[in-house]
Homo-oligomer: A and B are copies of this chain.
Amino acid sequence: MSKQPLSFQPGHNHDRCIHEALHKARTLCSERKQRLTPIRELVLQLIWQSHKPLGAYELLPALADAGFNSAPPTVYRALDFLQAQGLVHRIASLNAFIGCPHPGPAHQGCFLICRSCSCTVELESAPVQNAIHNSAAHLGFVIEQETVEVVGLCPNCQQSDANSLQREAE
């Protein structure tokens, strides 16, 4: 079996994920002379509280707790900024947002989303990209933006899913 991405490793050191994400964000914004304001950094940190996509409205209570305004525009503005900087991606099929594990080079992710635990992996996916580009090129279509979102069962949940089906059968 190949090495699993951290998203699919329940016991991994997630504090490290958070720390690295924030560190990369600070570095990138600094390089680009973009302002990673307290609200923006907090939203990024909240997005990284897990490897599960979060809806914008799920972030509002935490923003309020931290003493910020927590009307929808606040969180959407922060998310817009983070998306523009490539620090988070939007998952269209879930109306939700997830942190990008390798921000920097502009890219659009290819996401594997577990319908049971919600844990989501962002693939590099060169073969997928190539296949799409070839198909598009064949029709003379010029690609500007790609959305690739795959829902299913992660390795961990296949086990629990089998277990619960078995329990039902008993």
Q: Size of chain A's interface in residues, with CB distance under 8 A?
A: 41
Q: Is A61 an interface residue (CB 8 A)?
A: no
Contact bitstring A138-170, B, C-beta under 8 A = 1, else 0: 111111111111111111001000000000000
Mark the stretch among A14-22, A50-58, A77-85, A121-129 that contacts chain B: A121-129
Contact bitstring A109-120, B, C-beta under 8 A = 1, else 0: 010101100000
Minimum Cβ distance to chain B for residue A80 (Å) = 16
Where the two chains meet, the residues of A that have a C-beta atom closer than 8 Å to any C-beta of B are: 1-2, 4-5, 8, 92-93, 110, 112, 114-115, 121, 123, 125, 127-128, 130-132, 134-136, 138-155, 158
Bound Cα distance from A92 to B150, whole angstroms = 12
